Chain A
Amino acid sequence: DQQVKQNSPSLSVQEGRISILNCDYTNSMFDYFLWYKKYPAEGPTFLISISSIKDKNEDGRFTVFLNKSAKHLSLHIVPSQPGDSAVYFCAAYRQGGKLIFGQGTELSVKP
């Protein structure tokens, strides 16, 4: 039962352009949604989160949008930089519950 899904295993973007990473979920009871960035052989690093009562959260180049009716969230990175190349995981949890991850999307930002 995959409650959090990232349907695109990879994404390639030109430096300076926008990167849009997508995530779908099935459990409408999630309280928080998070995006993590991960390099090989390292633990996930927290990027940005959004509460289920919000529809947008922005932090510098990173913006997360939440569409509760569609059970969909997205991460926008503008402008994309080569250092953003990594695997991005979408995750979600209910207060006091376990953090559930998607399968990840590998972002490649080309100079």
Chain B
Amino acid sequence: DAGVTQSPTHLIKTRGQQVTLRCSPKSGHDTVSWYQQALGQGPQFIFQYYEEEERQRGNFPDRFSGHQFPNYSSELNVNALLLGDSALYLCASSLLLGAGGYTFGSGTRLTVV
């Protein structure tokens, strides 16, 4: 049973560019959440998708947007990249109304130069 799969694993982008990160949730999960983890800090919640809609959003600007597809997979898009967007981006899947907790992928390391 595959867990959460994220792609790509590493990415280098230039300031001002746009980036798309992808996530396939664990089999049986219906909810996808995205987190940003800067060096030395805990993961910060970006947003959560369920039934192809954004349910909740953290304190991130509109440059951060997402999408969930009918197969529950998800994308995170970041526009007009800033140096401060360099971080590990984590995807987590879960059951919206389940008690099974959250399963995380290995993350995408984004470096903005």
The chain A residues found within 8 Å of chain B, CB to CB, are 4, 6, 32, 34, 36, 41-46, 49, 51, 89, 91, 93, 95-104
Contact = CB atoms under 8 A, between A and B. Distances in A.
B42 A46 contact: no
A57 B35 CA distance: 27
Contacts, number: 59
A41 B41 CA distance: 13
Contact of B58 (A4, A32, A98, A103): A98
Given A43-B4, A104-B41, A96 B88 contact: no
Interface in B32-82: 33, 35, 41-45, 48, 56, 58
B103 A98 contact: no
B8 to A, nearest CB: 13
Contact of A44 (B44, B90, B96): B90
Contacts of B106: 41-43
B101 A98 contact: no
B21 interface: no
A94 to B, nearest CB: 11
B88 A41 contact: yes
A32 B104 contact: no
Contact of A96 (B6, B42, B97, B107): B97
B107 A41 contact: yes
A4 B41 CA distance: 13
B33 A98 contact: yes
B57 to A, nearest CB: 9
A97 B102 CA distance: 11
Nearest to A102: B42
A43 B23 CA distance: 13
Contacts of B88: 41
A99 B41 contact: no
Nearest to B31: A96
